[in-house]
A and B are shown apart, each in its own frame.
Chain A
Amino acid sequence: MPLLLENLTKHYAAPDGTAMTVLDVPHFELADGEHVALLGGSGTGKTTLLHSIAGIVRPDGGRVIFRSGQGETDVAALPEADRDGFRGQHIGYIFQTHHLLPGFTALENVLLGLTFTGRKADPAWARHLLTEVGLGDRLDYKPAKLSVGQQQRVAVARALANRPKLVLADEPTGALDPQTAQQVLELIRTLCREVNASLILVTHDMNIAGQLERVVRLDELNRRGQAAVGSGQ
């Protein structure tokens, strides 16, 4: 499912009441199945960009177009409930920290990725994903019993549970040691290929970014701070 961003803007109110532009992306395209690294440090608006693409926040301007055989969907124009539904069905999200639910086992956490998609629970697929990430023998472990790297692998499996068309990964290796980070990156890419999902991976690690098909520098993509808008937004 190719992605197109057009004139995407997002502002937040600064403490002094003036509007602060955190996102100003004139144009960005992602091909079907393409894996792209967005390279940038903290404060470059990477999380806001991913949230805008995922529909977690509504951009103040511009379009977030998903193209498919059925036509185009502008996520930015959808009401909140539809954005939530679209995200549940088509997007997988991997956070910097795993954000697993502590009371749920690894398997249950992965199944949660399917709970809000409107599809039938698929424990076999969830088990397959966990086996793929090397946790086939840890299905019933709760997050507290897993290492940080294992927790992030569960999070990767959960993001792929709904067989997404686009995976958004927000510094998924940021909290991991280089060896584990490399393993997690490979798992993400392998699983994305398995479900034929496009990937946008945000990172500040050049080594990680360099392994993807395309690297886009966030400070070049996002012209934040260059445009002034009215106060209060």
Chain B
Amino acid sequence: MNLFQLILKQIRQRSLSTVLTVLSIALGVGLAISILVLQRESQNLFGQTEYGYEVLAGVKGSGLQLTVNTVYGIDQSPGNVKYEVYEKLTKDRVFRQDARIVIPQCVGDTYKGRPIVGTIPQFFGYDNDAQRIENVEGEPARRFEYRPGRSFEFEQGTVFREDRFEAVIGSDVPRLAGLKLGDAFQATHGSPTAGAPADVHEEKWKVVGVLKPTRTAADKCVYIGLTSFYTIFEHADAELARDKIRRGENPATRNVRKEEAHDHDHADHDHAGHDHAGHDHADEHNHEHRHAHYTITADGRIKLDQDVLDAREVSAILIKARGGFNALNLINNLNLQPDVMAVSPATVMREFFGNFVKGPSTLLLIIAALVIVVASIGILTTIYNSVAARSHEIAVLRALGATRNRILTLITAEAILLGVIGGAIGFVLGHLLAAAGSAYLERAFGEPIAWTRVSGPELLCLAGTVILAFLAGLVPAIKAYSTPVATNLSGA
């Protein structure tokens, strides 16, 4: 019987207290490890140095709200800026010299809880003619990248035409919302709460493309053409009303729609549920359809009314700058514009992480460390009590030739073994907790975390646990070390 077998035997003799001690260590270590993994990974997730675009522009207000809404699809949009801001970015020399790619986005509607984003084909790396934008080797990327070096790719179908009732869906949308290629759907205004009546818009979009997984929030989004987004009656009306307010006019005076462009009478025509996606106007009528704020041309394209065109707004503008200095220029110049705010999403998220996430997670880490310390005191108590109860046994071992140092080794090795077993279980437990956290983060933000990755602080935590276990075992070991053999033998 070697020393290790002897230790295992002693541990088995007190199986219940051993299991409870190991469990408490495992819980403490598991908690600490999961916090370490989640802290590290959430820092990676939210504190990314680059998002594929350096500047995010939106309405003046909360940069954090603008960023988390645009990048992670959570929280409400902080509001809209005039479409001219986007136009300025693409046309004005002062901005063009700094901005390489400019992508507008409109948000506000949902389909079965999935956010609907109005945008342009360039977001997916396609031009207005649905042709893939090709990068030129040795030159900066022309194609938009949602993360550095990563552009959208299609699993099925292709990009929408921006001025048609066509949609592209993220890779998780078929599973989450039941949509598939070729399906038609109607958008719901906002995000209605459970039980509340949903305000379903009358327009119908047809799914023409399904994206490949990106492991970002985009996987859970439904994308429609920006022009088609403005056709939604409520959007157009709201934008017109806001436009009037800006001009000092009364928003209650409605626009009188002209029907003269139409060559047949639509006065009694009910547009509710009118399906533009499901049929081809050109084939059936070969004429234009008048709607509240737009016209469907003979070739099926959406033509917005001028007042709607004038009143257009965007929720966010994603800008890929020509360089780091250009990004700063853009931020400074955009912030000089009335009602416009420009931020670096990376900086915003880093600050958010530093101010709001790191503090509480550090606190949790301290709590976890305290749990480990308490668990170590558990080791001390368990082994100390067992040593007190085993003083006679220890005396017998001494009489059989065990030196004081062997007894010291026996007891501390037992404590270390408990620490190692508890630490190992806790390590696995911690990563499983992190896996659960990863699933939650993926549901909430669309991005999972690398929960299997092992980092230095985790190994330090394990080493610290074993050292604490050793120190906890040292106290009873010293007691065992000083156990008087003769007294304990004769006293038995």
Which residues does A use to contact B, with CB under 8 Å? 47, 51, 54, 56-57, 80-81, 84-85, 87-89, 93, 95, 97, 99, 101, 103-104, 108, 111-117, 121, 158, 162
Contacts and interface: CB of A to CB of B under 8 A. Distances in A.
A115 B3 contact: yes
B451 to A, nearest CB: 41
A101 B2 contact: no
Contact of A84 (B2, B401, B492): B401
B397 A56 contact: no
Interface stretch (B273-281, B353-361, B403-411): B403-411
Contacts of A84: 398, 401-404
Given A56-B486, A112-B1, A115-B2, A104 B9 contact: yes
Contacts, number: 74
A116 B406 contact: yes
B2 A51 contact: no
Nearest to A51: B486
Contacts of A80: 403-404
9 closest A-B pairs (Cβ-Cβ)? A88-B401, A116-B401, A103-B13, A84-B403, A111-B1, A81-B403, A116-B402, A99-B396, A115-B1
Contacts of B3: 115
A202 B399 CA distance: 17
B400 A116 contact: yes
Interface of B: 1-3, 6, 9-10, 12-13, 392-393, 396-406, 485-486, 489-490, 492
Contacts of B13: 103
Given A81-B405, A95-B489, A97-B492, A115 B9 contact: no
Contacts of B393: 101
A47 B9 CA distance: 30
A165 to B, nearest CB: 14
A56 B9 contact: no
Given A81-B404, A84-B398, A99 B489 contact: yes
B404 A89 contact: no
Contacts of B396: 99, 101
A103 B6 CA distance: 11
Given A87-B401, A88-B400, A88-B401, 5 more contacts: A85-B403, A93-B400, A99-B489, A112-B400, A115-B400
Nearest to B484: A57
8 contacts: A47-B486, A57-B486, A87-B400, A93-B399, A99-B396, A112-B1, A113-B400, A116-B402
Contact of B1 (A88, A93, A99, A108): A108
Nearest to B390: A101
Contacts of A116: 397, 400-403, 406
A33 B401 CA distance: 22
A103 B9 contact: yes
Contact of A112 (B12, B397, B405, B492): B397
B10 A103 contact: yes
A129 to B, nearest CB: 15
